[in-house]
Structure 1
Amino acid sequence: MSDDPNRSTDRGADSNASPDAHQAAGLRQEGWAPRPAASGRPRRTGLRRLLPTWRMALGGTLTLLLLLVGAFFVGYALVSIPDANAAATAQSNVYLYSDGKTEISRDGAVNRQNVQLDQIAKTARYATLAAEDRKFYHESAVSPKSMLRAAWNTATGKGKQSGSTITQQYVKNYYLTQSQTASRKVKEFFIAIKLDQNESKDQILQGYLNTSYYGRNAYGIEAAAQAYFSENASDLTTAQGAYLATLLNAPSEYDLSAHPENAPAAKARWNYVLDGMVKEHWLTPAQRAATKFPAIGKPKPVASKAGQRGYIIEAVNQYLTDNHIVDASALSRGGYRIVTTIQKPKEDAFVKAAQKDVYDQLGHAKQDKYVRAGGVSIDPATGDVVALYGGIDYTKQYVSSATNRTYQPGSTFKPVIFTSALQNDSTTQDGRTITPTTIYNGTSGRQVQGPNGPVGYHPDNEDGTDYGNITVTRAMDKSVNSVFAQMAQDVGTKKVIATAHDLGIPDAVDIPQTPAMALGAFGSSQSDPNSASPLDMAQAYATLANHGVEIPYSIVAKITKDGDTLGLPDRKPVQAVPRSAADTTTAMLQSVVDTPGGTAAAAQASGWPSAAKTGTAENDKAAWFAGYTPKLATVVALFGMNPANGAQEKLNGSMNTARINGGGPPGALWADYTATALKGQQVSDFDLDMQQGSQTVAPQSDQPTTPDDGGITTAPSTGATTPPSQQPTTTPPTTGTTVPPTTPPTSTVPTDPVQPPTGGDPTDTLAPQGGDQSGTGRTGGTDSLTGTRGG
């Protein structure tokens, strides 16, 4: 027996234990078995010690979820929707011809024009969804599943892929940047969620389509449609829309004009888009089968201001700002789609005529480099500017001759004086009503007479020619300065200025309140002339052509911003001067064209009945031709400008001609342009309703006419007009009466007797005796302002 008292007890215990217990006991004796846990469960050994228990896994998962939820709410609270980035809001202004489709130019750093969603072809919208986010309208702003899939594909070498929804892509384009940073992705995530709550799906899709890049420097689907197909986004076909959707994936690589070798990949992507449209029931299988890969237009040159583009843009922008439609700062930010009134065929005709009749005629004389041509053409029935010619090229001559107000319009103002006489029922100083057959003294250098005698102004006629007693009609034919300076005084210079404004010459034009207005001596100073531009004069002549009804000119037919149409000025037609006054002036200006020796005979080459007047500025620095047909009013001017400093220069000696007259190159340009611009239209005559007793009958001879030669008469009181094709006759109608001359013919400058102030303007600022108060008159033998020109 053993001396150990416990031994029998242990054995007794062991004897009742299981074999496993005995084995465990043996292991414990040898030191190999683990000690039991405090709970009585065995401890984890080996790799099992490294694995978390289910309690640990559950706890960790819950902790992570709590952290994620907390982070989400913190991020949602901290990240707000920012202002749009500058690049996303920058747009270009698009200028179009009157057809609303043909582009003139684009002006702006970023080629983008935002449009409304309903201005994008429906199939083009569906194609974009099929390419980028087919569940856009049914799912949330973010797709974690897509993000994880894209991350996995990128990590496993399947190429970089985006898991972003259209909402996320829009956020990236409009609010953030294109940088691939973690912080940007986090911001994108939260902004997309917030945006989805604040904007509708349609608004988000519209923003995405307007901000996406399509290659060819085209931002937004409207610019892309123009860049690849020369179409508006609203007119895209299914095939074209699917191609633009294809470009979103790889704009540069899938532009087949630049990378034709990528055609298989581009077409595969295009097919993927169309198949997606069928799968989503946006396209029927039959429509899909009928859709063919579109023809891709070649890249167009970057729109510039070369040629006439810059002049037109400048005139349009000036019109918009002057009429308070858009301010200059808003225009600079872009985004305006502007349909002009410019008709491309007429604009092309003006360019062609200017090249032929002016620039092709220049030689190598010093004066040839000073020649600048400009002109404006207006449809009298609408007031629309249908053509504007600013010069040879905006990039070579940035000052537009069409809107230049620094040159005097010369004798093109004389018809305004005569119209004012008719409008105001004016009389001569001795009380005779002014009509086309009223006789004036046409002696060169004759003193202008006021109510109290000479007013100190006595302009020379061109080349100092004396005409003696002459009818108003013949004085207009020959552009006699002495007659119309006297008529301006007879009517009253303030009344003439009022008529000029009635006809549409703007208040900004500084018309002198002196008889010097007859020679177009506008402008208060050489440094700040404020004279009349071809556009200003075209407005006035268009009103005459429209029977005295003034329609304020416009160069803008429609303007939109982000799909919204902006209001344009009210251009309600107004009977500015009596129709009889305007039509009688028209008949007189027809005589200037049709009478032998008339200064505007060049207009006959247009093939249309024409009414016109020429003008020459002081010292031959400008030559004008202003006229109209029943369909078109056009003013052409040649200016002498030193390209080095902008100073005015004489045109004498240019174009191999000793002297440039309005009836020369400007008249030839006018006739060539008018003939082409009206080609194909049925020739029509003027429909005139003249004042009683205003039939124009002019003598054939340029010699002074006395009241005894039977060649000057008053027309019968029938209101009839001499047809333009009928040559003036020296035989008076049997019902006519002879109109006495103002003064007897004389070879010296007459001193007219003082008459009662029946025709003068009592408010005229001219001094009754002595010099011209305005500084524009002539007090000596040489006119310091206007020289001897006027025609």
Structure 2
Amino acid sequence: MAVTSHPELGRAIRHLRDPESLQVGPKRLIDYPRAGRRGIRRWIPSWKLALGASALGFAGIVMGLMVAYAKTPIPTANSNVKDQKTVVYWASDNGKTRGTQELGRFGDVDRRIVTGKAIPQVVKDAVVAAEDRSFYTNKSGISPTGILRAAWTNARGGSLQGGSTITQQYVKNYFLESDRTMSRKAKEFFISVKVAREASKDEIMENYLNTIYWGRNTYGIEAAARAYFGRSAKDLTPSQAAFLAGIINGPELSDPHDGDDERERAEIRWNYVLDGMEKMGTLAPEDRPAKFPKVIKQRPGNSLSGQTGYLMRMVEKELLARGYSPEEIKTGGLKVYTTFDKKLVQAGVEAVKTFLPDPPDRVQVAMASIDVETGAVKAIYGGHDYIKRSRNAATEDTAMAGSTFKPFCLVAALDNGISLKSRFSGASPLYLPKSDYPKPVRNFGNHPYGFLDLPAATANSVNTVYMQLNREVGPKKTREAAVKAGIPSDTSGFNDGLGNVLGSADVRPIDMASAYATFAGQGVRREHYIIEVVDTPDKKNSYVHGRSTDDAKEKQAFERDVMADTVYAMQQVVTRGSGGYARSLGRPVAGKTGTSQESQSAWFVGFTPQVSTAVAMYRLGKNDKGQDVLPPMGPYRTITGSSYPVRIWTEYMQKAVEGMPIEQFPEPAWVGVPQNPMPTLTTTQQTPTTTLPTWTLTPTGRPTETGRPTWPTQTTAEPTTTTTERTPDPTQTTTTRRGGGGGD
């Protein structure tokens, strides 16, 4: 019998060969290290073990992915994903409340959200051909091959790759931050799968096209279409759509106007997209564009230079006053339709340049123009350049009103039964009781007049007559009339002193234009405004002027007959007074010149029945504090309202009333009772020798006028009739600044 045939002996022999073979006990679940193997073979797993371990590992991965998928919700959209710049528009030129020409924007993001219906199919097809040709057939929302390719590149130390489908790009832009980490890519993976299951392809495509970056600081297809082609996305041609789709993966490297390399890359991508559209069947070969589209040059940023900054700042302040938050203004995508007429704003700029192309240092010009019928602000000249000086001369600066305040006294007088036919002494100087006014009152140039009725006194801006009239009426009523017309009650220098009639108040040009618009509107007070409509993206917080309870309603501030007489007297300023230059407008004009004491400011505020405009000049003090005397300019030794202001006003108004019908002011009603007080007040030692003036009276002893300049751009000849503009006596003693106006 063989030795090995005996069981015990066989075990003993095997023990000698492999001691572990004699181990007793329960059978191992996992035979590893492998029993019955020696050396390295003991550590090589069996195929059964390898297969089982692989299956177990795969099951673990699947379970892990399932848990991660279940625990990864679709987050809310990024807070800035729908940020849109607020766009401000010029007024419509066809009478509508919504203009179409862009004035400027607030905010840093150029994005305009559009609905899927506003995106043509050719754009969607081009984007699919460029970015993800399996978009409509891929149900998972991810690309395994793309992910593997990206993982391989990343593993080799390359830059973090996307491997992204359109769905993944949408998820990244819409829901996630832009950090380039593996954890963010993992979230992108799970969210993309969920989005692909829960959202429609149309919804994904619409949101994708509204959020991706397209270069030129634009986000979304609508902003991109306007930036590269100057048109809306709905109007894009197949060639233009292919261009925009082609540059998605590198817009900053594909702008044709940045260089030859960029143009070449853009053309290569353009052809790639068109090839893809043909292969996909979304573009017939015969419809394939033959020429690369013409891309417009990038427009400069929305500069605030010139007048733009002044207008935009006005809009911003008004929006804040209307309750819109700074965040809404910057990122809310508001559409703000203003009253500003682009042509008239430019007309104001040109008018100033015509007469003051290079004003002396610190000399400011301001203009405000208002539609009489509505109160809409049509034009503003806030200064030479917002970039150089951001303070708005027309709405933030003030200047002494001078004689432009006299019409408020006239209104108060008429309203209290004093007729235009009332006569007062025009002697100069005039001494009033010191309890009323402690200093002598002088006319401009200290020129004396005889007895004048109120139209003549208005035409000649006679200080002494208006001081007597103000004393008769009561300065408080003069101030109240100014407030009723539109001058804010908190205006600096506004008081009930007798000298208020000479314009001691520091007023804003826009308030003067608004107050005189009340006169032009036959006593109807309309608050001036600059915003017609504000549209919000959801239309829920929109604003329309006149519909808000916060909007001031128009009201009859003065009787029509009182206004008819007031306007009649103010017409005399133009027909035979210091505002004679405005006659070249060729239609009825009423207004008032004004010059403050020591010529620290000069005004002309005038109106037709349709438009009221104020022009002011003044000189800032050093360091932008206070005001200095206006220096001689051009042919004028002294700057008065009848010099540059009335000329700038007339030049501007030529454009402002262009195409408007010529309307007449109402005939005077001659309200009230004439008053003819005899001169009982102390005057100068010399008794004036002038007699009661007629409508064409020119005061005696009229000083020689300074020469008038030749204005090369003035198309209408200056009236040849003489006016009462004068050069003041160089030796004239002036009072302090609060003494009021200079009488011009």
Whether TM-score is above 0.5 comes out as yes
Match of 2:729 in 1: none
| Aligned counterparts, 1:537-548, within 5 A | 537-548=512-523
Match of 1:484 in 2: 466
| Aligned counterparts, 1:298-697, within 5 A | 298-321=297-320, 323-328=321-326, 330-331=328-329, 335-360=333-358, 362=359, 368-422=360-414, 424=415, 426=416, 433-446=417-430, 459-510=441-492, 511-522=494-505, 531-562=506-537, 564=539, 566-570=542-546, 572-595=553-576, 598-642=577-621, 644-655=623-634, 657-679=636-658, 681-688=659-666, 690-692=668-670
Cα distance in 2 between the residues matched to 1:546 and 1:558: 24
Post-superposition CA distance 1:340-393 (Å, at most 9, x none): 322222121111111121134x4xxxxx21311111122223322222111111
Q: Equivalent residue of 1:57, what SS?
A: helix
| 1:627 Cα deviation from its structure 2 partner | 0.9
Match of 1:25 in 2: none
8 Å Cα contact 2:403/2:595 also seen in 1 = yes
Post-superposition CA distance 1:11-33 (Å, at most 9, x none): xxxxxxxxxxxxxxxxx9xx9xx
Cα distance in 2 between the residues matched to 1:9 and 1:536: 126
Cα distance in 2 between the residues matched to 1:171 and 1:466: 84
**Cα-Cα RMSD:** 4.5
Q: Equivalent residue of 1:377, what SS?
A: strand
For residues 297 and 790 of structure 1, do their structure 2 counterparts lie closer, same or farther at Cα, with a shift above 3 Å needed?
A: same
| Aligned counterparts, 1:36-51, within 5 A | none
Match of 1:762 in 2: none
Task: Output the amino acid matched with 1:96.
Answer: Y
| 1:235 Cα deviation from its structure 2 partner | 5.0
Task: Output the amino acid matched with 1:585.
Answer: T
Cα distance in 2 between the residues matched to 1:313 and 1:67: 58
| Aligned counterparts, 1:104-253, within 5 A | 104-108=103-107, 110-117=108-115, 120-123=118-121, 124=123, 127-133=126-132, 142-145=141-144, 147-148=146-147, 150-151=149-150, 162-192=162-192, 205=205, 207-233=207-233, 236-253=236-253
| 1:194 Cα deviation from its structure 2 partner | 6.4
Number of residue pairs matched?
A: 664
Residue segments in structure 1 that go unaligned for 5+ positions in a row: 11-27, 363-367, 427-432, 523-530, 697-701, 713-725, 729-779
Task: Output the amino acid matched with 2:353.
Answer: Q
Does 1:69 find its partner at 2:51? Answer: no
For residues 138 and 502 of structure 1, do their structure 2 counterparts lie closer, same or farther at Cα, with a shift above 3 Å needed?
A: farther
Post-superposition CA distance 1:137-176 (Å, at most 9, x none): 7766741436436537858999986433444324433554
For residues 184 and 374 of structure 1, do their structure 2 counterparts lie closer, same or farther at Cα, with a shift above 3 Å needed?
A: same
Q: Which moves more between the two structures, 289-298 or 619-628?
A: 289-298
Cα distance in 2 between the residues matched to 1:481 and 1:235: 65
Match of 1:267 in 2: 267
Task: Output the amino acid matched with 1:547.
Answer: Q
| 1:673 Cα deviation from its structure 2 partner | 1.4
Q: Equivalent residue of 1:163, what SS?
A: coil
Task: Output the amino acid matched with 1:513.
Answer: D
For residues 468 and 95 of structure 1, do their structure 2 counterparts lie closer, same or farther at Cα, with a shift above 3 Å needed?
A: same
Q: Computing the radius of gyration over CA atoms, which structure comes out larger, 1 or 2?
A: 1
8 Å Cα contact 1:457/1:515 also seen in 2 = no
| 1:566 Cα deviation from its structure 2 partner | 2.7
Task: Output the amino acid matched with 1:463.
Answer: G
Cα distance in 2 between the residues matched to 1:371 and 1:646: 13
8 Å Cα contact 2:366/2:393 also seen in 1 = yes
Does 1:789 find its partner at 2:742? Answer: yes
8 Å Cα contact 1:625/1:667 also seen in 2 = yes
Identity %: 32
| Aligned counterparts, 1:52-91, within 5 A | 53=47, 56-57=50-51, 60-74=54-68, 76-77=70-71, 81=75, 84=78
Task: Output the amino acid matched with 2:514.
Answer: Q
For residues 264 and 592 of structure 1, do their structure 2 counterparts lie closer, same or farther at Cα, with a shift above 3 Å needed?
A: same
| Aligned counterparts, 1:270-289, within 5 A | 270-273=270-273, 285=284, 288-289=287-288
Q: Equivalent residue of 2:543, what SS?
A: coil
Task: Output the amino acid matched with 2:530.
Answer: I
Q: Equivalent residue of 2:627, what SS?
A: coil
TM-score using structure 2 length: 0.76
| 1:272 Cα deviation from its structure 2 partner | 4.7
Post-superposition CA distance 1:109-158 (Å, at most 9, x none): x2423424269543445544554456667766741436436537858999
Cα distance in 1 between the residues matched to 2:483 and 2:196: 57
Task: Output the amino acid matched with 1:394.
Answer: Y
Which of 80, 84, 91 aligns to 1:98? It is 91
8 Å Cα contact 1:117/1:202 also seen in 2 = no
Cα distance in 1 between the residues matched to 2:642 and 2:673: 25
Post-superposition CA distance 1:44-99 (Å, at most 9, x none): 9999995764675356335433443335424653677377366x576544433224
Match of 2:258 in 1: 258
For residues 327 and 276 of structure 1, do their structure 2 counterparts lie closer, same or farther at Cα, with a shift above 3 Å needed?
A: same
| 1:472 Cα deviation from its structure 2 partner | 0.8
For residues 291 and 408 of structure 1, do their structure 2 counterparts lie closer, same or farther at Cα, with a shift above 3 Å needed?
A: farther
Cα distance in 2 between the residues matched to 1:114 and 1:500: 46
TM-score using structure 1 length: 0.72
Cα distance in 2 between the residues matched to 1:60 and 1:666: 92
For residues 50 and 288 of structure 1, do their structure 2 counterparts lie closer, same or farther at Cα, with a shift above 3 Å needed?
A: farther
Post-superposition CA distance 1:232-253 (Å, at most 9, x none): 4555455434432322121022
| 1:318 Cα deviation from its structure 2 partner | 2.1
| 1:646 Cα deviation from its structure 2 partner | 2.9
Residue segments in structure 2 that go unaligned for 5+ positions in a row: 7-13, 29-33, 93-98, 675-687, 698-718, 722-732
8 Å Cα contact 1:113/1:562 also seen in 2 = no
Cα distance in 2 between the residues matched to 1:228 and 1:661: 51
For residues 216 and 494 of structure 1, do their structure 2 counterparts lie closer, same or farther at Cα, with a shift above 3 Å needed?
A: same
Cα distance in 1 between the residues matched to 2:695 and 2:207: 81
Q: Equivalent residue of 1:557, what SS?
A: strand
For residues 198 and 476 of structure 1, do their structure 2 counterparts lie closer, same or farther at Cα, with a shift above 3 Å needed?
A: farther
8 Å Cα contact 1:141/1:167 also seen in 2 = no
Post-superposition CA distance 1:207-230 (Å, at most 9, x none): 544432211222344443343233
For residues 692 and 405 of structure 1, do their structure 2 counterparts lie closer, same or farther at Cα, with a shift above 3 Å needed?
A: same
8 Å Cα contact 1:349/1:673 also seen in 2 = yes
Q: Equivalent residue of 2:642, what SS?
A: coil
Cα distance in 2 between the residues matched to 1:317 and 1:144: 47
For residues 225 and 608 of structure 1, do their structure 2 counterparts lie closer, same or farther at Cα, with a shift above 3 Å needed?
A: farther
For residues 171 and 152 of structure 1, do their structure 2 counterparts lie closer, same or farther at Cα, with a shift above 3 Å needed?
A: closer
For residues 634 and 8 of structure 1, do their structure 2 counterparts lie closer, same or farther at Cα, with a shift above 3 Å needed?
A: closer
Task: Output the amino acid matched with 1:97.
Answer: W
| 1:520 Cα deviation from its structure 2 partner | 1.8
Cα distance in 2 between the residues matched to 1:394 and 1:353: 18
